[in-house]
Amino acid sequence: MFPKNAWYVACTPDEIDAKPLGRTICGESMVFYRGAENRAVALEDFCPHRGAPLSLGYVEDGLLVCGYHGLAMGCDGKTAAMPNQRVQHFPCIKRYPVVERYGFIWVWPGDEALADPAQLPHLQWAESPEWAYGGGLYHIACDYRLMVDNLMDLTHETYVHASSIGQKEIDEAPVNTRVEGSEVITSRFMENISAPPFWRAALRANGLDEDAPVDRWQICRFTPPSHVLIEVGVAHAGHGGYDAPEQYKASSIVVDFITPENETSIWYFWGMARRFKVDDSELTDRIREGQGKIFSEDLEMLERQQRNLLRYPERNLLKLNIDAGGVQARRIIERLVKAEQASDQVLARSAL
């Protein structure tokens, strides 16, 4: 269950620079490639000739050529040419709206008529030279909402990421969750604590005393369909915490684009945007490596949790205060899905 009329991150630009990429998004088998003028295109990964996956083909003169018998597909899903064939009446394949922005290829798996690039999230850090970004991609066998839950309740850091970003004070600090329109914000502030290893390293990288007591914050923002951006950071204690001047703090935005592959698996695009030492690409690599290691700790837990839930589909999970972020996010998701279903029914009726 996922909204289909929404922008999802499908892949990174480099994944389609050299050749087409086959990837299933929201249950739709798609091929992504660069067509005319190098523009990113997404089509059904199904050649209308004999059903071969177009992603095994190649791009020539802006057309996607099927690697089986040479049918040349246009970016509109209409066959443009095929050796020695008249192609006007070939059946079309589905095309999906695509936007390349912020260093990602975004796709709209639902109704093309509703796709509006203006609905893309606005990611200031991705467009400003004051920020640097590094990230990666994991494939995880779990419902995308389990990952939303995971990111909207950071008490798990204490247990899953005990040796890097976890610390007892997260559990102990009160959590605040609020809903603003279709956004859910969960925040936690810890004062005058010791920085855990990851943040000690960040303070050090930032030229700050890592042994000093710090104020720490985590502000998780869910926006539909399944993006979670988390402002995280520490500041030397007593300088205003989140609002402290730059010279006292190390902070960043944890970026999580969670794209359903199908009902029980996801493409998880994770990364970190930072506003310090933005030209230090070696630091970017080091942070990416560290974050990748930390985030990989969630994989087994989420996949095993998924299997447990499939085994006991009738069990109701607890909804504690710490779970409020995920609970609210699921409500918003459910509302969107219901609205889509209702709209589909209206369309179906009006088609009669």
The site for its own copies (CB under 8 A) is made up of 29, 45-46, 48-53, 56-57, 65-70, 82-85, 90-91, 149, 153, 155-156, 158-160, 168, 171-172, 174, 300-301, 304-305, 308-309, 311-312, 315, 317-318, 320-323
Q: Report the residue number, 171 or 280, with the smaller CB distance to its own copies.
A: 171
Name the minimum Å distance from CB 28 to its own copies: 10
Q: Report the residue number, 21 or 203, with the smaller CB distance to its own copies.
A: 21
Residue 59, φ and ψ in degrees, nearest 5: -100, 135
Q: Edge-to-edge strands of the sheet including 98-101?
A: 8-11, 104-107, 98-101
Q: Report the residue number, 9 or 54, with the smaller CB distance to its own copies.
A: 54
Name the minimum Å distance from CB 96 to its own copies: 16
Name the minimum Å distance from CB 133 to its own copies: 29
CB atoms within 10 A of CB 94: 15
Following CA atoms 299, 303, 306, 310 in sequence, which dihedral angle do they give, to the nearest 10 degrees? 180
Report the distance separating Cα 173 and Cα 200, nearest Å.
20
Residue 167, φ and ψ in degrees, nearest 5: -165, 150
Q: Report the residue number, 84 or 350, with the smaller CB distance to its own copies.
A: 84
Amino acid identity of residue 59, one-letter, is V
* Of the candidates 210, 256, 206, 268, the residue with the CA atom closest to the CA atom of residue 229: 256
Name the minimum Å distance from CB 162 to its own copies: 9
Q: Report the residue number, 67 or 213, with the smaller CB distance to its own copies.
A: 67
Rg (C-alpha) for the chain, rounded Å, is 22
Name the minimum Å distance from CB 166 to its own copies: 10
Report the distance separating Cα 191 and Cα 91, nearest Å.
63
Q: Report the residue number, 100 or 303, with the smaller CB distance to its own copies.
A: 303
Report the distance separating Cα 255 and Cα 144, nearest Å.
15
Report the distance separating Cα 253 and Cα 229, nearest Å.
7
Name the minimum Å distance from CB 72 to its own copies: 11
30 in Cβ contact with 10 (< 8 Å): yes
Lookup: tokens for 315: 């069990």
Q: Report the residue number, 109 or 135, with the smaller CB distance to its own copies.
A: 109
Q: Report the residue number, 174 or 240, with the smaller CB distance to its own copies.
A: 174
Name the minimum Å distance from CB 68 to its own copies: 6
Name the minimum Å distance from CB 171 to its own copies: 4
Cα 317–Cα 318–Cα 324 angle in degrees, nearest 5: 115
